[in-house]
Structure 1
Amino acid sequence: MAMKLRLARGGSKKRPFYRIVAADSRMPRDGRYIERLGTYNPLLPKDSEDRVKMDIDRVKHWLDQGAQPSDRISRMLEAAGVIDKKERSNPKRAVPGKKAQERAEEKAEKARAAEEAANAPAEEAAAEE
């Protein structure tokens, strides 16, 4: 059985509240879980102590049993100092799309043409003198 540490959503519409749970990875997001490990309330300020509450001992127990934390849970555990920080590199994230690159090239060409047009009369006037 593949175990996951993940969030199970509760709360009403547009008022999210999450339980941090240990669950079988095949179960639905808000479905059956094995154990409740804590809570996460994203509506509270980031510096609030009540935003994330976890039973660290039980989380460590499940990690020792081979449970894999979801990305969001692993970030919370990194912030709590339970697990080491992972390297998250996405080099393509900063690269603009094709259309944006084409627009940038067109803009650079227009700027070069305008610069050449501005320099050409000045060079002709200097050549006449």
Structure 2
Amino acid sequence: MDFEQKMTHFREEMEYLGICQFAAAPLLYRFLWFLGIAEPPPFFASRWRSLSIHVTCYSLLLAFVLLTLHIFVALNLSTSVNLFVIVLMFSLVYSFYMASNYQYQSRMLELPSWELYLSEKHKIDSANIS
């Protein structure tokens, strides 16, 4: 089964379980999928993998915003560096919270690993979802 088929089934399963589509497939991951990066949904990622993805993406996004502010508002370099450190710390805390939350929800839903998802060992009956 290819990545797109798994993702389609995953979205249907999450909808069946009553989980919001934006919680099941956050915008950050949708953007990565749009770019062609076949990253499994955060429910299937380890805490550290999810943490690294969130921190990297949010830090790059906010660094771009700070660079834009630095150019157009004429902030001095020390202020920009201080703001970037604050943003990086915020990204770390927020990303750790999100990674822990996804790992907790994955345990509550008893989801298998992404490799075993939709295999014979997967518990939820696909016929009930479709």
Choose 1 or 2 for highest CA Rg: 1
The TM-score with structure 2 as length reference comes to: 0.23
Q: Which structure is higher in helix share?
A: 2
The TM-score with structure 1 as length reference comes to: 0.23
